Structure 1
Amino acid sequence: MNQLARLRYRRRFLAAALAVAGLTFVVTPAHADDQPLPGTVVTTSPLAEDLQLNGSERGLRLTYWTQDSTGREAQSSGAVFTPRGAAPPHGWPVVSWLHGTVGLGDECAPSTAGPTDRDRDFTYLNAWLNHGYAVVATDYIGLGTPGVHAFLDGAAEAHAAIDIVRAARTIDSSLSTSWLAVGQSQGGGGALWTATMATEYAPELDYRGVIATAPAAQVVSLLAAAGPSVPNLGMPNLTVYTAYAMRGLKQARPDWDLDSYLTPLGRRLVDDAETLCFRAMAERVEGIGVGELLTRSLSEGDFAESAHEVFDAPMAPYDRPVFIGQGAIDKTVPLPLTLAFIAQLRANGTFPALRVYPGSDHGGTVVAATIDAIQFAEAVTR
């Protein structure tokens, strides 16, 4: 057993012993250069009772070390849910769940506040538990941990989604090395980023595939169309997403000149975006169109170049199967955008399974895709 393997073994043994005792703990093994090892658990505690899933034997909240998109150490928080009953011989296969947009502030973290659409997300995650999958659910860096959440920063979300699998396995020996990335909306885009990084970033795990519903995979083409001349479409969610995206890009790339794009109102709203969760932010921007935030088009300057490398899912061939679910009446991630993304994937050698749900809007897609997603997972994990 090499030094790294012995370190992971000792970490897993100590974490499991303390978790059984019901204690919150701090464990911080490090690399030879004294940097925290990605996936190292920092704290763990029981999840709030109202955030427990019915299909889970238990739910725990944890914080753990991961990396941002530039490779700098960072902390994320999240939750771990284990199915009821005895684990199969090789352990419960794991779903790493990447959630949709909740906001940027610490109060928005799903492991403390719950998801924006609790009934929908709880129904979906319970379905996975009931089919014998453990669920680990990252909050992402900056949601419940230091710093501002870099909204749509795909590589940072991917690191957090992979490292929570590592972290969860140190505190629960019933979890398998076999796992899938599963995400919706913002998390759908993050899941696709995860798919392109999983095998190389965590070779000790057995990554099997990705399920992305209503994925925010190629959003720069939509955002770049925004400018001061765009009329108010009466869709406050678009204003919310724009404010979040601009603040997220500034967090991911601090040298990007955010203020040069913003009106005084835009600056106030982007400041508000740091703390206001989705519903509160939607109320804050009621009656305010995207154009009122901007002094110039996002197609000008370096916005598109900077945002593309942070937001848009890579086109490189994916080394494991891909499932994409899309609602036909989705106004947030329109069907033509997803079809264009899939066409690009195919041109680059990746051929995803696609299911389009005729009556589903953005939020409804994840529920509509449940049966297809689980059948896909069964085919690649069992």
Structure 2
Amino acid sequence: MIRRRIRWTAVVLIAVAVGAVLIAEEGRLVGDEFERSGIDAFYAQPDGAVTGDPGTLVRSEPLAGTPLAADAWRVMYRSTTDAGDPVVVTGVVVTPWGPPPPGGRTVLAWAHPTTGAARTCAPSYGLDPFLGIEGLRTLLDRGYTVAATDYAGMGTDGPDSYLIGGTEGRNVLDAVRAARAIPGAQAGADVVLWGHSQGGQAALFAAQDAAAYAPELDVVAVAAAAPAADLLSLMKDHLDDISGVTIGAYAFTAYAETYGATVPGATLDAVLTPAAQRLVPQMNELCLLSNLDRLHQIGGPLVGDFVSVDPTTTEPWRTLLTQNSAGAVAFDAPLFLAQGLSDQLILPEDTAAFAASERSLGIDVTEQTIPWATHATIAYLALPFLVAWLDAHGV
């Protein structure tokens, strides 16, 4: 009888806990929907928005549909491009309830994987601006304040930054500065960088640029899941498939916009076939996850007829891909690299080669491979290993 009561008590407690979570989740989604009204006004830049120091806030607003036991803000902040030009960027900041430790909370700077290149593909603009922050609940439970950038050119007006490593990295670091400008975020100077795919490239560039660009921040750990670290290898692996067409549609457009005026030959007509030049603008209007079938429908006929030259061997593309590949500069923080052995986009051998290259620079590298993980699932499946690694480093 006593055992039966214990079992029923456990069932009731579990049901109550699940019910509480469901109620909180429903409330969060109601808040998300409520915030859609007038959302475009937030992303419209006021006059003089770019004037100010990198990381300072242009505006911020508290969000109603927040994760359980957390406060959050949508932010618009100042940053710079790889060339040093001022730019305005958007994102979100999330912090858990409760008193912060002395000196403030460690800031987890999240760098998102590819969502597209259009302004409306920005994660913070979505119905659920927290949906794509991989491991958010775990990170909040660890006491981190989470700063998640959209990258330049997404959310609000700005130059296209897709796979422009220096710009993405600065946007990540300035998101941390923006979080520190919000008193309620309780953000300190210690920073953990965490990114997936395109975001892995962004996190790695943030790590290698932090000492010079944001010396007031202390990057204590860097983690990347299936990072787009070596763009030459990535492009070679996918020149003749639909992934190469989709990535290339976003990337070559960004490169032509960024470098076309100053680098001879960095124009779309110097790398894409006439057929690709006609269709790529349509692809760049579409967000990846919500329009994947349409992207493949448009890009499918371009497989085998996308590039007019091999960008991995032809200048200036080879040089541009190389300079936007991570790993040219060492950093002091330990590095965690997660790779799915079933990943068909970022190939396991490419991440292994990158890890070896980072070790040759003197970086403390931990590799974690997961046999059944794909490119889409690696960040989530790596979370238990990431947490153990953070624990081992006292972060």
What's the TM-score, normalizing by structure 1?
A: 0.83
Distance 1:238 1:260 in 2: 17
- Alpha-carbon shift at residue 117 of structure 1 (Å): 10
How many matched pairs?
344
- Say if 2:330 is the partner of 1:314: no
| Aligned counterparts, 1:182-193, within 5 A | 182-193=194-205
Counterpart of 1:106 in structure 2 is 119
Distance 2:168 2:197 in 1: 13
- Say if 2:280 is the partner of 1:283: no
Aligned with 1:361 (options 352, 356, 374): 374
Q: Is the 8 A contact 2:276 2:302 kept in 1?
A: no
Distance 2:138 2:331 in 1: 26
Counterpart of 1:246 in structure 2 is 252
Distance 1:183 1:122 in 2: 9
Distance 2:106 2:375 in 1: 28
- The code of the aligned residue for 2:207 comes to A
Counterpart of 2:358 in structure 1 is 345
Q: Is the 8 A contact 2:63 2:74 kept in 1?
A: yes
Aligned with 2:175 (options 150, 164, 173): 164
Alignment gaps of 5+ in structure 1 = 1-23
> SS where residue 209 of structure 1 aligns?
strand
Distance 2:270 2:362 in 1: 39
1:44–1:381: structure 2 CA closer, same or farther, 3 Å change rule? farther
Q: Is the 8 A contact 1:178 1:381 kept in 2?
A: no
Counterpart of 1:270 in structure 2 is 280
Distance 1:252 1:331 in 2: 29
Q: Is the 8 A contact 1:104 1:148 kept in 2?
A: no
Counterpart of 1:205 in structure 2 is 217
Instruction: Between the two structures, name the one with larger relative contact order (CA 8 Å, sep ≥ 6).
Output: 1
Counterpart of 1:6 in structure 2 is none
Q: Is the 8 A contact 1:324 1:353 kept in 2?
A: yes
Counterpart of 1:144 in structure 2 is 155
Counterpart of 2:59 in structure 1 is 43
Q: Is the 8 A contact 1:77 1:111 kept in 2?
A: yes
Moved over 6 A (4+): 24-30
> SS where residue 59 of structure 2 aligns?
strand
- The code of the aligned residue for 1:271 comes to P
What's the TM-score, normalizing by structure 2?
A: 0.80
Structure showing greater radius of gyration is: 2
Distance 1:57 1:293 in 2: 46
292-301 vs 279-288, which deviates more?
279-288
- Say if 2:269 is the partner of 1:259: yes
1:35–1:201: structure 2 CA closer, same or farther, 3 Å change rule? same
Counterpart of 1:181 in structure 2 is 193
Counterpart of 2:18 in structure 1 is none
Alignment gaps of 5+ in structure 2 = 1-41
Identity, in percent, stands at 31
Counterpart of 1:220 in structure 2 is 232
Counterpart of 2:24 in structure 1 is none
Counterpart of 1:303 in structure 2 is 317
- Alpha-carbon shift at residue 263 of structure 1 (Å): 1.9
Counterpart of 1:91 in structure 2 is 104
> SS where residue 301 of structure 2 aligns?
coil
Distance 2:342 2:236 in 1: 22
Counterpart of 2:23 in structure 1 is none
Q: Is the 8 A contact 2:88 2:158 kept in 1?
A: no
- The code of the aligned residue for 1:209 comes to A
Aligned with 2:77 (options 64, 83, 100): 64
1:250–1:81: structure 2 CA closer, same or farther, 3 Å change rule? same
- Alpha-carbon shift at residue 189 of structure 1 (Å): 1.1
